[in-house]
């Protein structure tokens, strides 16, 4: 069993979460439990392949080979029941740049792009920074589960200026793993209204027991032709800094257009470590992933019991996937800026403020539980102390 309990010191590694939190939050002494990477070492097989490559000592231009593509194809077949053609693959330095490239390839200035807030905030950012217009189809919280509002979606899809839909599956930050039935309704509506789906499935390997992830492109060939799927081993194996993502575009014309845009950006040669890490993780990482999923589930159970017994003011929105947990603090009756100050100044935690994911996130916080149990315990105890001091 991999030692996920090991506290790896990440200071001094240029880590966004550990080295840069003080600058980003403009406060010292916060325990960082925000940005979506894990505090765990990657699988040993990945580390040893990278060590060997470093020892080689020559770091010239590199490109993925057929082997890289086949390893990805096999992963998708084995774990996600999708038989792709390796020609459909395009590589990008990340999923966020891939989404930005899709916006630029398939829409024009002023076109409208749909999102479902509260959602991973770079979706809105990429749309707005590229001079397109955000249209929101907010998720609806029904008892403890977020649902899609299909009636509102259909009304918005009728607007001919809406050209694209950004799907987040599993959904960050609310933790839904969308069901096949939900995805079918959504995808058929998009096909009917000729709205292209960009499906961000970056968290697709991180699914809790009892749930199953569906790639929207597996639903039908019409849906696959109308979808750009974005995946990566970066969340699964903690390789985000390696910056190599896989974009799958079954429709030939759409793929050629996308590749042309990537060419315009001069993006053709990823770094050699990313390529090797992808190959090694998908080839040798499965056992590690199974152990990770058990550890994450145990962390989730720890958090849920802690909150139930010691912090009943907070409600956990039960996640179906990802290691990002959406916590409802609304019973504290603070506005979103008071809550932000409370979390940072009183609890001494660096979390992701709910409101950055959209207005529906006001009163919520997102906590990252992909850390050793000791870190999670420390974070929850800080929160407990701060809440008790309120009374
Ligand atoms: C839904 C989602 N998409 C994309 C990313 C980032 O992708 P990348 O680092 O490949 O740009 C994240 C990271 O948190 C994410 O949660």
Query: How many Å apart are CA 103 and CA 91, to the nearest integer?
Result: 16
Q: CB of 324 closer than 6 A to ligand 1?
A: no
Phi/psi of residue 172, each to 5°?
-95, 120
CATH no. of 21-43+286-390? 3.90.1150.10
Atom of ligand 1 nearest to the CA of 324: 16
Given a contact cutoff of 8 angstroms between Cβ atoms, the answer to whether 336 and 321 are in contact is no
Q: CB of 95 closer than 6 A to ligand 1?
A: yes
Given a contact cutoff of 8 angstroms between Cβ atoms, the answer to whether 167 and 139 are in contact is no
Q: CB of 370 closer than 6 A to ligand 1?
A: no
Q: Which two tokens stand for residue 21?
A: 């939190």
Question: What is the structure's pLDDT at 262?
Answer: 96
CATH no. of 59-284? 3.40.640.10
Q: Which two tokens stand for residue 287?
A: 């056992």
CA angle, 156 as apex, 147 and 136 as ends, to 5°?
60
pLDDT average per 10 residues of sequence, the chain (391 residues): 89 97 97 98 98 97 97 98 98 97 98 98 98 98 96 98 98 98 98 98 98 98 98 98 97 98 90 97 98 98 98 97 98 97 98 98 98 98 97 82
Query: How many Å apart are CA 121 and CA 135, to the nearest integer?
Result: 14
Question: What is the structure's pLDDT at 269?
Answer: 79
Question: What is the structure's pLDDT at 1?
Answer: 55
The SS3 of residue 83 is coil
Ligand 1 centroid – CA 91 distance (Å)? 15
Query: How many Å apart are CA 186 and CA 193, to the nearest integer?
Result: 11
Ligand 1 centroid – CA 202 distance (Å)? 6
Q: For residue 388, what are the contacts with CB-CB under 8 A and spacing of at least 6?
A: none
* Domain boundaries of the chain, sorted by first residue: 21-43+286-390, 59-284
Span 345-373, pLDDT tens digits? 999 999 999 999 999 999 999 999 999 99
Q: CB of 200 closer than 6 A to ligand 1?
A: yes
Q: For residue 317, what are the contacts with CB-CB under 8 A and spacing of at least 6?
A: 141, 144, 145, 146, 174, 175, 325, 326, 327, 328, 364
User: Residue 208's closest CA among 78, 319, 371, 372?
Assistant: 319
Q: Ligand 1, residues 17, 38, 96: which to mutate, most atoms within 8 A of Cβ?
A: 96
Whole-number Cα distances in Å, 389 to 72, 305, 333, 339: 51, 21, 15, 14
Prediction pTM value: 0.98
Span 228-249, pLDDT tens digits? 999 999 999 999 999 999 999 9
Q: Do domains 21-43+286-390 and 59-284 have the same CATH topology?
A: no
Span 184-212, pLDDT tens digits? 999 999 999 999 999 999 999 999 999 99
Query: How many Å apart are CA 323 and CA 103, to the nearest integer?
Result: 27
Question: What is the structure's pLDDT at 2?
Answer: 65
Atom of ligand 1 nearest to the CA of 96: 11
Q: CB of 166 closer than 6 A to ligand 1?
A: no
Query: How many Å apart are CA 104 and CA 88, to the nearest integer?
Result: 19
The SS3 of residue 386 is helix
Question: What is the structure's pLDDT at 268?
Answer: 80
Ligand 1 centroid – CA 386 distance (Å)? 31
Atom of ligand 1 nearest to the CA of 234: 10
Given a contact cutoff of 8 angstroms between Cβ atoms, the answer to whether 367 and 322 are in contact is no
Ligand 1 centroid – CA 249 distance (Å)? 19
Cα 139 to chain center, whole Å? 17
Ligand 1 centroid – CA 362 distance (Å)? 21
The SS3 of residue 270 is coil
Q: Is 174 exposed, middle or buried (0-12, 13-18, 19+ CB in 10 A)?
A: buried
Question: What is the structure's pLDDT at 26?
Answer: 97
Ligand 1 centroid – CA 93 distance (Å)? 11
């Amino acid at each position: 069993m991999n030692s996920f309990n090991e506290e790896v010191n990440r200071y001094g590694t240029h880590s966004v979460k550990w080295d840069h939190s003080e600058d980003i939050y403009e406060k010292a002494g916060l325990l960082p439990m925000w940005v979506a990477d894990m505090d765990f070492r990657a699988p040993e097989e990945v580390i040893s392949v990278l060590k060997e490559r470093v020892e080689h000592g020559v770091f010239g231009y590199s490109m993925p080979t057929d082997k890289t593509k086949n390893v990805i194809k096999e992963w998708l077949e084995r774990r996600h029941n999708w038989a792709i053609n390796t020609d459909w693959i395009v590589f990008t330095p990340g999923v966020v740049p891939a989404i930005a490239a899709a916006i630029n390839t398939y829409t024009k200035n002023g076109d409208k792009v749909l999102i479902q807030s509260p959602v991973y905030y770079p979706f809105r950012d990429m749309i707005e920074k590229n001079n397109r217009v955000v249209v929101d189809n907010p998720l609806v919280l029904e008892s403890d589960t977020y649902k899609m509002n299909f009636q509102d979606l259909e009304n918005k899809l009728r607007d001919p200026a809406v050209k694209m839909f950004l799907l987040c599956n599993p959904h960050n930050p609310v933790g839904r793993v969308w069901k096949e039935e939900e995805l079918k309704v959504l995808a058929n509506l998009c096909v009917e209204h000729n709205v292209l789906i960009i499906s961000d499935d970056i968290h697709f390997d991180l699914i809790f027991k009892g749930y199953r992830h569906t790639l929207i492109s597996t639903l039908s060939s019409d849906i696959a032709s109308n979808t750009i799927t974005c995946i990566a081993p970066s969340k699964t194996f903690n390789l985000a800094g390696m910056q190599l993502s896989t974009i799958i575009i079954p429709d030939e014309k759409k793929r050629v257009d996308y590749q042309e845009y990537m060419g315009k950006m001069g993006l053709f040669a990823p770094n050699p470590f990313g390529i090797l890490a992808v190959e090694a993780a998908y080839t040798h990482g499965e056992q590690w992933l199974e152990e990770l999923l058990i550890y994450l589930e145990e962390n989730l159970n720890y958090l849920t019991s802690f909150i139930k017994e010691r912090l009943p003011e907070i409600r956990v929105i039960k996640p179906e996937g990802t290691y990002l947990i959406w916590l409802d603090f609304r019973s504290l009756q603070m506005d979103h800026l008071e809550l932000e100050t409370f979390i940072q100044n009183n609890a001494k935690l660096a979390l992701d403020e709910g409101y950055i994911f959209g207005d529906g996130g006001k009163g919520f916080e997102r906590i990252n539980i992909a850390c050793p149990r000791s870190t999670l315990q420390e974070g929850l105890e800080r929160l407990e102390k701060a809440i008790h001091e309120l009374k």
